[in-house]
Amino acid sequence: MPTHTFKLNGKQISVEAEDNVRLLWVLRDLLGVTGPKYGCALEVCKSCTSHINGKAFNPCSVQVKDIEPADEVTTIEGLPATVGKDLHPMQEAWLKYDVAQCGYCQPGQIMAAVAKVKQARAEGRDITDADLDELRNICRCGTYSRIREAVKAGAEDMGA
């Protein structure tokens, strides 16, 4: 079986898996990193949203062979370390606004929100309602109003 290597949450790791296995299963089943949730495996529900080189992506739809050795994959487990804290400001906002109901979609929601805020900042502006409309992460509990409040608050705490 081929060996694949990439950077996961700050550590260079190697894993043996068939080329066409989607990264989500490599993370969850082979590496035991279960923060990215399995929802649809069709790139629709977005519950597995993680970061690749700082940008949001869905590991359910990426074959492990397409990940380069220099690629840096960050899951919700590695998010706080990207800011050198115990919790990322977006996670703090999540707690403050008591966002989660069942909680299943939350890792994906938070990862997508952080990427969306960074994307807006890179364009030199603050996050807008139009940006939030672009987040397609599904929450079956329907906590969208709290999610939007928390993303806006988290964006402020993330600084420039």
Partner 1 sequence: MPNTSESPSGAGELAVAPAFAAIACAYARATGTMPTYFPINHGKLSFEPLPVQPSTPQSPTDGLDHTF
- What residues make contact with partner 1 under the rule CB under 8 A? 20, 22-24, 41-43, 52, 55-63, 66, 115-116, 119, 134
Using CA atoms, how far apart are residues 153 and 127, in angstroms rounded to an integer?
10
For partner 1, give the closer residue by CB, 85 or 128: 128
For partner 1, give the closer residue by CB, 106 or 131: 131
Using CA atoms, how far apart are residues 23 and 58, in angstroms rounded to an integer?
9
Q: How far is the CB of 59 from partner 1 (least distance, A)?
A: 7
Q: How far is the CB of 125 from partner 1 (least distance, A)?
A: 15
In 9-159, beta strands by DSSP E: 11-16, 50-52, 55-57, 72-74
3-class secondary-structure state, position 54: coil
Q: How far is the CB of 86 from partner 1 (least distance, A)?
A: 27
